[in-house]
Amino acid sequence: MSILNTPLKMGDLELKNRLVLAPLTRSRSNSERIPTDVMVEYYRQRANAGLMLTEATVISEDAVGYSNTPGLWNSEQAKAWTPIVQAVHEQGAKIFAQLWHVGRISDPEFLSGHTPVAPSAIQPEGHVSLLRPKRPYVTPRALAVEEIQVIIAKYKQAALFAKEAGFDGVELHAANGYLIDQFLQSGTNQRTDQYGGTLENRARLLLEVVDVLIDVWGAGRVGVHIAPRGDSHDMHDDHPIQTFGYVMQQLSQRHIAFVFAREYESEDSISPVLRPQFNGVWIANEKLTASSANTLLENKSADAVAFGQLFIANPDLLERLEHDLPLNEVDFNTLYPSNDDLNKGYTDYPTLSTHG
């Protein structure tokens, strides 16, 4: 048995192995942001992972930035998540809901004509994903302090709906240039109130949301998703080692279950500096191979490893990685549905057993 397929204590939970399904936006929910039946099969197929993180799941109607991404702000959505959770639990895997507010990475078309919000009115470079005709991001509106308090309350309500759905815990999406990340990093936060300026102020929203998630779930069932390289959606921080190091220290004091770090290995990676500053489970992610993942686990640079694209194309990824078997390649043309066939490129990737 490889180290990948050994149990792991993570917060209040015991994982059957150290393989993690990364959060993957696939846009298979309906227009009301309610999970669909095809999503049950998708997660069921991949429950060979010890831990599954749902695709990013929006906390409110005004938190969205993509078509047909699922939500967790009402009981109907929570009820539709329940069969997904049950399908995962039937195979002994654990599943956390990843809670998401996109902030400025949206467009008025998704927000009933309203302007996207952010810590500061700074327009991101780039174009709105998947909307046609192609258009640049608009300049967002800076949130008032009172509005920030409302958003924190919405995170708490989403965490309660996650509990209603039967999830094992929640992960805060604080990465990839979305709202929490926008507050944290200096390049997107030019506020002069208690949510801006100093590092402690820029990290305030992240930590206040973590605290309300802990109120609902307990620290041992809360995780945080970070992207310390700042390589998505026009992000930048003047002192990333200090910024993310402070967050690690604060999260350690709260004894949360895990940190998920999306940062590929290279000479400029800061995860090796951050990892010793956090006392929970460390999940490494991005551009991993069977070999590099195993090395990270063996030298204790990570406690678990997460895969995204490889898990899309290989539902039986654990078996393939453990035995160094051939891997299917991702069809990028079917990452998001182009017609009414939601299964295409979603639940129809062949497994080893399919090949006989």
**pLDDT at residue 117 in the model:** 98
Number of helices (H) and strands (E) in the chain: give both, helices first.
11, 13
Q: Is the pTM of this model over 0.85?
A: yes
Annotated catalytic residue, options 42, 43, 66, 178 = 178
Provide the mean pLDDT of the chain. Answer: 97
From the CB of residue 344, how many other CB atoms can be counted at a distance below 10 Å?
14
Cβ atoms of 39 and 84 closer than 8 Å: yes
Among 186, 256, 250, which Cα is nearest to 219's?
A: 256
d(CA 270, CA 240): 8
Residue 178: active-site member: yes
Q: Could you give the angle at which helices 145-165 and 204-217 cross, rounded to 10 degrees?
A: 30
Provide the pLDDT confidence category of residue 116 given band limits of 50, 70 and 90. very high
d(CA 281, CA 261): 11
- Is the torsion defined by CA of 6, 349, 64, 184 positive or negative? positive
Q: Output DSSP code: residue 188.
A: T
> Residues 34-44, buried b or exposed e (16+ Cβ, 10 A)?
bbeebbbbbbb
**Does residue 356 register a pLDDT over 90?**
no
From the CB of residue 30, how many other CB atoms can be counted at a distance below 10 Å?
12
